[in-house]
Amino acid sequence: MNQLFIYLAHLQSMRTSTILTIAGAIMVGAVVGFGTAPTQHGGPGDTTAAVVDASQAMLTDAAVTAHIKRRREPQAGDHWAGCNDARAVGTAPIYRGEPGYDETMDGDGDGIACEPRPDA
């Protein structure tokens, strides 16, 4: 009989411990959720837009570094003295039909001027 009381007391403490753990998790979740909830765009404390902007900038930088994206898209009126100028601005490679494309900068005639250099 004594062991039954010990067992019941143990079950009660486990139930209390579980309830306290769940209540604590709910309170932490509410505090964290409230603290990170987006505010109205442009209002005081609006960090959401800043975080999104920073994330987009990081992804763009990574894509440029990996030669997946150009730092600057070709624009009407672009004219480059050579590929080094186009690369310096971040417009290379330049595809046939895009502003700034010049056959003299397309060494192999494949329609892609100022292709990434193998050593870059």
Count how many Cα atoms sit within 13 Å of the Cα of residue 53 in the half-sphere of its side chain.
6
Delimit the domains of the chain by residue range: 1-29, 69-120
> Which of 98, 90, 119, 94 shows the shortest CA–CA distance to 107?
94
pLDDT at 38: 59
Summarize pLDDT for 35-60 with one digit per residue, the tens: 555 555 555 555 777 888 888 888 88
Distance, in Å, from the CA atom of 58 to the CA atom of 70, rounded to the nearest integer, reads 14
Tokens of 118: 């193998």
Summarize pLDDT for 86-114 with one digit per residue, the tens: 999 999 899 999 999 999 999 999 999 99
Residues 6+ apart with CB under 8 A from 80: 86, 89, 91, 94, 100, 102, 105, 114
The structure's pTM equals 0.51
Going by the DSSP 8-state scheme, the letter that residue 9 receives in this structure is: H
Which amino acid is present at 22? I
